């Protein structure tokens, strides 16, 4: 498995400094949050996109994912959702990213109707994603928090350009064991987001290994299955100002992940 971190932990940091953090701390890749408040977003010109891609390539750091915010199960017309997702796909292709992350956004809970809406929109995105060489990953999140929820939707689509992103916090909050999540998401899995929190009622981000999430169990399941994808540390500093700054945590976080990978080998 290869290790990455998300710029959600350093949301306004310039690209050059993100690259430096990755190289200094031994990460293989970065997930870029696509937001106008940061340096990478869909409004970048062709020249600006090329510049970002060149900075990462020169350092040997992969751009793993463009983390977009399109909600494919959300109520309303398809057009705005598809437009937002297509813009993110174009950005990912220009940057050389492997994936675009999207959310479900289907309300309080998954249903047959929200599954169908999400599957219809993802199916509409699949041909463009395939043409661009980018996979769209539906994250275990909000209305579709469990791996089983996301697997239903992605299975309905049935296209190789549409896959799943496993956020270990949300599947844990849904009551799934890592082995259960793996069993349903394995055919579709593109990336696993790791993190840590204090409890189900306090999701303030903590350094990896300082909270309650089943990191060792998750990595053991992935290692036992000989999965060779990306482990990405998503530290949600953007939403929790009181959380410690990410840069000082990156080194110890990588050391923990490397140790867990070694112990599970």
Helices (H), 134-265: 147-157, 168-173, 178-185, 215-224, 247-264
The Cα 186–Cα 180 span in angstroms is 10
**Residue 196 near residue 243 (C-beta atoms within 8 A):** no
Q: What is the fold of 2-264?
A: TIM Barrel (3.20.20)
- With beta carbons less than 8 A apart as the criterion, state whether 257 and 235 touch: no
Give the tens place of pLDDT for each residue, 221-247: 999 999 999 999 999 999 998 999 999
Instruction: Name, in order, each residue with C-beta under 8 angstroms of 82's C-beta and a sequence gap of 6 or more.
Output: 121, 124, 125
For residue 198, how many other CB atoms are within 10 A of its CB? Answer: 14
At 74-93, the pLDDT tens digits run: 999 999 999 999 999 999 99
Where exactly are the structural domains of the chain?
2-264
Q: What is the pLDDT of residues 128-154, one digit of tens each?
A: 999 999 999 999 999 999 999 999 999
Predicted confidence (pLDDT) at residue 108 exceeds the cutoff of 90: no
Q: Which residues lie closer than 8 Å to 2 by C-beta, 6 or more apart?
A: 28, 29, 62, 229, 230, 231
Q: Is the pLDDT reported for residue 26 higher than 80?
A: yes
Nearest-angstrom CA–CA distance, 150 and 144: 6
Indicate whether 265 pLDDT > 80: no
Cα separation of 74 and 82, whole Å?
Answer: 11
pTM of structure: 0.97
Mean pLDDT of 16-20: 97
């Amino acid at each position: 498995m290869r290790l990455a971190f998300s710029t959600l932990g350093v949301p306004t940091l310039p690209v050059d400094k993100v690259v430096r953090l990755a190289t200094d701390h031994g990460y293989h890749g970065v997930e870029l949050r696509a937001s106008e408040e940061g340096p990478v977003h869909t409004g970048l010109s062709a020249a600006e996109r090329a510049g970002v891609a060149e900075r990462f390539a020169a350092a040997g750091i992969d751009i793993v994912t463009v983390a977009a915010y399109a909600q494919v199960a959300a109520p309303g017309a398809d057009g705005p959702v598809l437009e937002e997702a297509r813009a993110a796909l174009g950005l990912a292709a220009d940057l050389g990213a492997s994936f675009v992350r999207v959310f479900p956004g289907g309300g309080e809970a998954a249903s047959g109707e929200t599954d169908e809406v999400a599957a219809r929109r993802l199916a509409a995105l699949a041909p463009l994603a395939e043409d661009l060489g980018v996979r769209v990953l539906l994250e275990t999140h909000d209305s579709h928090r469990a791996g089983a929820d996301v697997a239903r939707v992605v299975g309905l689509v049935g296209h190789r350009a549409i896959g799943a992103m496993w956020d270990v916090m949300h599947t844990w909050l849904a009551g799934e064991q890592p082995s259960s999540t793996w069993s349903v998401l394995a055919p579709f899995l593109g990336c696993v987001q790791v993190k840590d929190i204090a409890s189900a009622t306090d999701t303030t981000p903590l350094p990896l290994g300082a909270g309650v999430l089943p990191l060792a169990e998750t990595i053991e399941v992935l290692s036992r299955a000989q999965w060779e994808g990306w482990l990405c540390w998503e530290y949600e500093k953007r939403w929790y100002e009181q959380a410690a700054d990410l840069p000082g945590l990156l080194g110890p976080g990588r050391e923990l992940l490397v140790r867990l990978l070694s112990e599970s080998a």
